[in-house]
C-alpha cells in the first residue's frame, strides 16, 4: 500500500521529515500538493503569494522528478480530496509537516482521526519552526507574550534536531492518478501582468533559497549586525519568502549559520547572533498566533478595541498604497513593495507607523494590503508585526512612540539612496506635496490613544 506525502508550507526536499518518513516506510511514494482555498476559515492567498506559489511548485516538481517522484496537483477542500486520493490509490499511510493556523490545525486534526478510523497510518512532523509553539511555556505553563524571555526559554530548551538530508532516490508510485495542470490554476497575473518586477527580484524554489543562504553567510553575515537597518545596503538575507513557503527550513538555516560561526571572528559571531535572533522572532510570531489565532483581525491587547479610528479616508489609503503620500521614505517603501513584492524591514515599520498613526487608518487595512502584495505574506509574521507597530500587539512598541518618517529617513537613508532608487521624481515638481502634516497628525494620534488609556 503506497505512502502519501502531502506538501503544504514545506515546498522542499531537503530537511523534510514527512518526505523522509514516507520514504523510510519502504512503499511507493505519492507526492501531492492541494490548492485548498475552500476549507472553512482558510484565508485566500494574495496576488503576490499566488505568483510565488506557482513558481515554487514549478520548481518543486522537477526536483521531485530528479529523485523519481511525480508531484500530483489537485484543488479543493482537503477533507474531500485527501480521503478520496487514499481510496483511489489504496494508500496505507499519509505523512505531512505541521501548520499552525487554527483553521489548518482543525482540518488536519479531523483528517488525522478520520483516516486513522479507516485504518490508515497518519503521522505529522515538526518542520517549519525551530521550536513547536506548545513546547515553549512560561513557569506558569502559559504562552509567552514578550520576546526576550521567550527566546531565552528557547535557548534553554532541547536544541532543534539536526537537519535531515534530502532523499537521493524515491520509489515513486507507478499507478495512475489524474492531477491538474499547474497552469489551470491561474495563479499568475495576466491582464495586466504586474509581475515583471517580481520576476526581476526573485527566483522561487529550493535551489535559489540555498544559494541565497550561502551567499548571505559568506558575504554578508559579518556586516549584518551593523547594516541590517540600512535599506539601500542589501545587507539582509532575502530569505523570508523562501522560509514562508518552506523552500528552506529554519533548522537548515540555523545549522549552516552555526557552522559558519564556528571559529569565525567577532563580527561574524555578532552577525550570527543577530540573524538567529531574527529567526527567533519568526518563531515568536507563530507562538503568539498559536495562542491567539485571530491575530490578523482581533487586537491582541483588547483595550485597543476602544481606539477611536475615524471614518476611513479612502483617498489617504489609496495614496499610501500607491506611494504618493508626499513623504519620500514612505513612498519609496510602498513602491518597492508594489514593484518587487517585498519591502525592507525598517521601512515596513516606518510605513506601518505612518498608516496607523499619521493617517489614523486601522492597522487591519495595512495588514490586508501587505497580505495581498508581499511574496512573504505570512499569517503569523504579518499580523504580529502590524499589531506590534500599531501598539495593539504582543511585546509591542508603546503606542506613543510614533516614528517621525523624516528623522527615520535621515538616520537610515542618509544620502537618500533608497528613496531615489524607488522614487525617481523625488525633488522635482512632479513629486506630490505631503498629504498630512507630520506634527499635527502626531498630536491627533496621541489624543486618540488617550481614549484607549482612559478606557483601561
Ligand atoms: P533577514 O534580516 O535576513 O532576517 C532573517 C529572517 O528572520 C527573515 O527571513 C524572516 O523569516 C525572519 N524575520 C526577520 N525579521 C522578522 C520579524 N520582524 N518578524 C518575523 N520574522 C522576522 N515577515 C514575513 O516573513 N512575512 C510577513 O508577512 C511580514 N510582514 C511584516 C509586516 C510588518 C508591518 C513588519 C514591520 C514586518 C513584517 N515582516 C514579515 C518581518 C520582516 O520585515 C521580514 O521578515 C524581513 O524584512 C524579511 O527580509 P529578510 O529575509 O532579508 O530578513
Residue 396 Cβ inside 6 Å of ligand 1? The answer reads: no
So what CATH class is 1-128? alpha beta
Of all atoms in ligand 1, which is nearest to the CA of residue 352? 34
**CA distances for 250 relative to 137, 247, 359, angstroms:** 20, 10, 36
302-451 belongs to which homologous superfamily?
DNA Cyclobutane Dipyrimidine Photolyase, subunit A, domain 3 (1.10.579.10)
> Residue written as cell 497580505?
371
Report d(CA 122, CA 93) in Å as an integer: 6
> Residue written as cell 491582464?
191
Q: Where are the domains of the chain?
A: 1-128, 129-160+206-291, 302-451
Ligand 1 midpoint to CA 326 (Å): 26
Report d(CA 301, CA 393) in Å as an integer: 6
Angle made by CA atoms 27, 132, 283, in degrees to the nearest 5: 120
pTM attached to this predicted model: 0.98
3 state SS for 141-183: CCCCCCHHHHHHHHHHCCCCCCCCCCCCCCCECCCCCCCCCHH
Residue 287 Cβ inside 6 Å of ligand 1? The answer reads: no
Neighbour-count burial for 74-83, b at 16+ CB within 10 Å, e otherwise: bebebbebbb
Residue 247 Cβ inside 6 Å of ligand 1? The answer reads: no
Report d(CA 454, CA 437) in Å as an integer: 26
Is 224 flagged in the annotation as binding?
yes
Residue 227 Cβ inside 6 Å of ligand 1? The answer reads: no
Contact call for residues 269 and 225 (beta carbons, < 8 A): no
Residue 336 Cβ inside 6 Å of ligand 1? The answer reads: no
**CA distances for 339 relative to 95, 239, 309, angstroms:** 38, 18, 30
Ligand 1 midpoint to CA 312 (Å): 28
Report d(CA 451, CA 456) in Å as an integer: 9
Ligand 1 midpoint to CA 218 (Å): 21
Residue 353 Cβ inside 6 Å of ligand 1? The answer reads: no
Q: Pull the grid cell for residue 76.
A: 479543493
> Residue written as cell 495581498?
372
CATH topology of domain 129-160+206-291: 1.25.40
In this structure, the residue with its CA closest to atom 2 of ligand 1 is 236
Is residue 155 exposed (0-12), middle (13-18) or buried (19+ Cβ within 10 Å)? exposed
> Residue written as cell 495588514?
367
Residue 242 Cβ inside 6 Å of ligand 1? The answer reads: no
In this structure, the residue with its CA closest to atom 10 of ligand 1 is 240
Ligand 1 midpoint to CA 253 (Å): 15
Q: What is the pLDDT of residue 453?
A: 85
**CA distances for 126 relative to 17, 135, 246, 271, angstroms:** 8, 11, 12, 27
Residue 86 Cβ inside 6 Å of ligand 1? The answer reads: no
- The tens-digit pLDDT sequence of the chain (456 residues) is 999 999 999 999 999 999 999 999 999 999 999 999 999 999 999 999 999 999 999 999 999 999 999 999 999 999 999 999 999 999 999 999 999 999 999 999 999 999 999 999 999 999 999 999 999 999 999 999 999 999 999 999 999 999 999 999 999 999 989 999 999 999 999 989 999 999 999 999 999 999 999 999 999 999 999 999 999 999 999 999 999 999 999 999 999 999 999 989 999 999 999 999 999 999 999 999 999 999 999 999 999 999 999 999 999 999 999 999 999 999 999 999 999 999 999 999 999 999 999 999 999 999 999 999 999 999 999 999 999 999 999 988 888 889 999 999 999 999 999 999 999 999 999 999 999 999 999 999 999 999 888 877
Contact call for residues 112 and 124 (beta carbons, < 8 A): yes
Ligand 1 midpoint to CA 378 (Å): 9
Residue 240 Cβ inside 6 Å of ligand 1? The answer reads: yes
Of all atoms in ligand 1, which is nearest to the CA of residue 244? 25
Contact call for residues 181 and 318 (beta carbons, < 8 A): no
Amino acid at each position: 500500500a503506497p505512502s502519501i506525502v502531502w506538501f503544504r508550507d514545506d515546498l522542499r526536499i531537503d530537511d523534510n521529515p514527512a518526505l523522509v518518513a514516507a520514504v523510510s516506510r519502504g512503499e511507493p511514494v505519492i507526492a501531492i500538493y492541494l490548492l485548498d482555498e475552500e476549507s472553512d476559515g482558510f484565508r485566500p492567498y494574495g496576488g503576490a503569494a499566488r505568483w510565488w506559489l506557482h513558481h515554487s511548485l514549478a520548481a518543486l516538481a522537477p526536483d521531485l522528478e530528479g529523485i523519481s517522484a511525480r508531484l500530483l496537483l489537485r484543488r479543493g477542500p482537503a477533507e474531500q480530496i485527501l480521503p478520496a486520493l487514499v481510496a483511489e490509490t489504496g494508500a496505507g499511510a499519509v505523512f505531512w509537516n505541521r501548520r499552525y493556523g487554527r483553521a489548518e490545525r482543525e482540518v488536519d486534526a479531523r483528517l488525522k482521526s478520520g483516516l486513522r478510523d479507516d485504518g490508515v497510518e497518519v503521522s505529522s512532523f515538526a518542520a517549519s519552526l525551530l521550536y513547536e509553539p506548545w513546547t515553549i511555556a512560561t513557569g506558569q505553563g502559559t504562552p509567552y507574550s514578550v520576546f526576550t524571555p521567550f527566546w531565552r526559554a528557547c535557548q534553554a530548551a532541547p536544541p532543534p534536531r539536526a537537519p535531515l538530508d534530502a532523499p537521493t532516490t524515491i520509489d515513486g508510485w507507478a499507478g495512475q492518478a489524474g492531477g491538474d495542470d499547474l497552469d489551470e490554476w491561474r495563479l499568475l497575473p495576466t491582464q495586466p501582468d504586474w509581475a515583471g518586477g517580481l520576476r526581476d527580484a526573485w527566483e522561487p524554489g529550493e535551489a535559489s533559497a540555498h544559494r541565497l543562504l550561502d551567499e548571505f553567510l559568506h558575504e554578508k553575515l559579518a556586516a549584518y549586525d551593523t547594516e541590517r537597518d540600512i535599506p539601500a545596503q542589501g545587507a539582509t538575507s532575502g530569505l523570508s519568502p523562501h522560509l514562508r513557503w518552506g523552500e528552506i527550513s529554519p533548522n537548515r538555516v540555523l545549522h549552516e549559520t552555526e557552522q559558519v560561526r564556528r571559529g569565525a571572528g567577532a563580527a561574524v559571531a555578532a552577525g550570527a547572533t543577530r540573524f538567529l535572533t531574527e529567526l527567533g522572532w519568526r518563531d515568536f510570531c507563530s507562538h503568539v498566533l498559536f495562542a491567539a489565532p485571530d491575530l490578523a483581525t482581533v487586537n491582541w491587547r483588547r483595550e485597543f478595541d476602544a481606539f477611536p479610528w475615524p471614518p476611513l479616508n479612502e483617498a489617504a489609503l489609496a495614496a499610501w498604497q500607491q506611494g504618493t503620500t508626499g513623504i519620500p521614505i514612505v513612498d519609496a517603501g510602498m513602491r518597492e513593495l508594489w514593484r518587487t513584492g517585498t519591502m525592507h524591514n525598517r521601512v515596513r515599520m516606518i510605513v506601518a507607523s505612518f498608516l496607523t498613526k499619521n493617517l489614523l487608518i486601522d492597522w487591519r487595512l495595512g495588514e490586508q494590503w501587505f497580505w495581498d502584495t508581499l511574496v512573504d505574506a505570512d499569517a503569523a509574521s504579518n499580523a504580529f508585526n502590524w499589531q506590534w507597530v500599531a501598539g495593539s500587539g504582543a511585546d509591542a512598541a508603546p503606542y506613543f512612540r510614533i516614528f517621525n518618517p523624516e528623522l527615520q529617513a535621515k538616520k537610515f537613508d542618509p544620502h537618500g539612496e533608497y528613496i531615489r532608487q524607488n522614487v525617481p521624481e523625488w525633488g522635482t515638481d512632479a513629486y506630490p506635496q505631503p498629504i498630512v502634516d507630520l506634527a499635527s497628525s502626531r498630536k491627533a494620534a496621541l489624543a486618540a490613544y488617550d481614549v484607549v488609556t482612559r478606557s483601561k
